[in-house]
Chain A
Amino acid sequence: MNIVSTYTWCQFAPAFALVGLAALLILADALLPKLPKRAFAFIGAMGCFVASYFLYTGSQPNFLGCIAAVATGLSILLAFDYTKICCESIAGGSNEEGTGEFYALPLVACAGILSLTQARDLVMLFVSLEVITLSSYVLAGYFRRNQGSIEAGIKYLVLGAMSTGILVYGTAWYFGMVGTFNLGHEVVFTAIKGGVAASPTLAVGFLVATAMLFAGAFFKIGAAPMHVWIPDVYQGAPTPTTAFLAVASKTAGFIVLCALVLPFAPFCVPGSMIGKLLIWCFALVAGVTLIIGNMGAIRQTNIKRLLGYSSVAQAGFIMVFFLNVNSILVDLVGQYLLAYALATLAAFYAVAMVRTQRGSEEIAAFRGLGKSNPRTAFLITVCFASLAGVPLTMGFMVKMYSFVAAITAMGNWAGICWLLPVMVITAAMGFYYYFKVIRAMYWEKAEPGHKALQVPVCTGIVLTLCALALIYLGTMPLLVSMG
């Protein structure tokens, strides 16, 4: 089976539609310079929402793609209220020139994520992944008058290109060992036996190639030791881009990881050497990611950097699901990502609002919000409480699923029982640093000169919807199971 006959055109219809919309926006940017750039943000976001609706109601619901599309739409919409900062950091002053692509590029990246969800072979996987990363490099370095943004762009590009190099070298060796780019059970099955010739050299080569592919996926999700780029890039990149990287790009990483792991499902049973190796690797990566993410987050004072380390920590909890490779893996990962996406996007809306009006991204800028904006402060509290995993929020439910997954995995592999205490301790650490923001809002006095925030319409709607969804999805399963 060759690459072209694996796919049909209509699988990629949503991706094509988004690329078309992005092309139209870029043309409009060149031909209609008078059109305000806020319209671009609005059209782009609507395009993403429409695409996510069709993904959700389509004949084969694509849940992860749907989350990515909604997240992209919301991060474009975030730029809607952020236009003032965008203009200052791109062209200087209130000049809107050259800011159009900032709203069109996330659409291209989103198209990459949507085609990634359809990928059944490594060529499609690699090309879609590069569509996402190349647009993200531009977006991360887009604020060219801002030192932090340029630095974030260069750091992201160098480390990202290095991980691409490793991934693509792994792809070459994968092809060399099995003679095809397909990711299927039977391909993996024959390869681990050493191919038709049953040669151990081929089997080892195949495992090394797979390890390189996993390294590429770990980079995208920010699992240790490939997480080094996350704090710097999240802090330096423009806030809408950071929101995109934290949610949509991370979803893409998990799509890749699922696509790479699922062919190994028949081996992930007790008694298999390959399964033991794989599960131990995942357990180690998950444990180290949890420790590094949570330890790093504790001493942060910059909110974007804190959310960066938080995203590393949350990736650690999602990694735990990969200890049970079975058919519900994708659903569990999707659930966790949904809880993470709702809370994180809302948090970034709050960060953007505070940055626009108080000019700072430090946690100290949140001081006194509890008094001056009680309603907004409550919504932000719900989001951070959900990230920490307070009961009655969705964050608690999904964290519980993660613990259940760890306990189930321990039934099969007794050797990884050290992971459970690590999870308990790191989850407790999470309470400390997420509540730093909540404490700043309620228990600390506002800095002199900081007035009450004017909540923009978009930010207000998104914050309310996200907080409501987090509470609803966190309480509904309990009510259903009781009544």
Chain B
Amino acid sequence: MIPLAHYLILSGILFSIGLAGVLIRKNIIVVFMCLEMMLTAANVALVAFSRAQGTAGVPVYDAQVLSLFITGIAAAEVAIGLALIVAMFRARRTVESTALNSLKD
């Protein structure tokens, strides 16, 4: 049996990689992958916690319900994001975030 801490460390690593990628990477498609990774980190933690909080081997299903919702919302977010990226590529011929410079003080 793998202890809870291992799952939480995995989810912490996923979350940190995701957050760092969003802040550092310039390619918006990579940024999107990192955003997905942040949501996946939450999913891993939720499913692990749902097991750990359960009694007599029955997990608390509330957490698993939320993880399903997160998966669905992540899919919707990607659909919108890719549509916006396509629109941006048509307008600017690039998907680098450095090209997003028309709005500034």
Contacts and interface: CB of A to CB of B under 8 A. Distances in A.
Nearest to B22: A162
A388 interface: no
Contacts of A165: 15, 18-19, 35, 38-39, 41-42
Nearest to A140: B84
B105 A151 contact: no
Interface stretch (A94-102, A169-177, A391-399, A447-455): A169-177
A2 interface: yes
A144 B87 contact: yes
Interface in A153-179: 153-155, 157-158, 161-162, 164-166, 168-169, 171-173, 175-176, 179
A241 to B, nearest CB: 14
Contact of B38 (A153, A162, A180): A162
B85 A154 contact: yes
Interface string A173-189: 10110011100000000
Dominant secondary structure at the B interface: helix
B103 A3 contact: no
B41 A134 contact: no
Nearest to B81: A157
Contacts of B81: 137, 154, 157, 161
Contacts of A39: none
B80 interface: yes
A132 to B, nearest CB: 12
Contacts of B100: 151, 154-155
A144 B90 CA distance: 10
Given A155-B100, A162-B22, A169-B42, A126 B49 contact: no
B49 A172 contact: yes
Contacts of A155: 100, 103
Contact of B66 (A153, A173, A181, A305): A181
B77 to A, nearest CB: 6
Nearest to A141: B84
A388 B49 CA distance: 49
Q: How large is the interface on B (under 10, 10 to 19, 20 to 34, 35 or more residues)?
A: 35 or more
A152 interface: yes
A190 interface: no
A235 B103 contact: yes
Interface string B55-66: 000001111011
A460 interface: no
A152 B87 CA distance: 12
Given A162-B19, A175-B53, A236 B69 contact: no
A232 B103 contact: yes
A134 B79 CA distance: 10
B73 interface: yes
Secondary structure of the A side of the interface?
Answer: helix
Contact of A171 (B8, B18, B42): B42
Contact of A172 (B18, B46, B104): B46
Interface in B23-53: 28, 31-32, 35, 38-39, 41-43, 45-46, 48-50, 52-53
B62 A151 contact: no
A231 interface: yes
B35 A161 contact: yes
A162 B35 contact: yes
Interface string A2-22: 110000000000000000000
Given A126-B66, A165-B35, A154 B19 contact: no
Given A123-B62, A137-B84, A179 B15 contact: no
A173 B45 contact: yes
A172 B84 contact: no
Nearest to A155: B100
Interface of A: 2-3, 122-123, 126-127, 130, 134, 137-138, 141, 144, 147-148, 150-155, 157-158, 161-162, 164-166, 168-169, 171-173, 175-176, 179-181, 231-232, 235-236, 296, 299-300, 305
Given A2-B61, A130-B76, A158-B97, 8 more contacts: A137-B80, A144-B87, A154-B81, A154-B84, A162-B22, A165-B35, A168-B70, A179-B60
Interface of B: 8, 11, 15, 18-19, 22, 28, 31-32, 35, 38-39, 41-43, 45-46, 48-50, 52-53, 60-63, 65-66, 69-70, 73, 76-77, 80-81, 83-85, 87-88, 91-92, 97, 100, 102-105
- Pick the 6 closest A-B CB pairs, nearest first: A165-B38, A176-B49, A172-B45, A168-B42, A232-B103, A179-B53
24 contacts: A2-B61, A122-B66, A123-B66, A123-B69, A147-B91, A151-B100, A154-B84, A154-B88, A157-B80, A158-B32, A158-B35, A161-B35, A161-B38, A166-B19, A168-B39, A173-B45, A175-B50, A175-B53, A175-B63, A175-B66, A176-B8, A176-B52, A180-B62, A231-B105
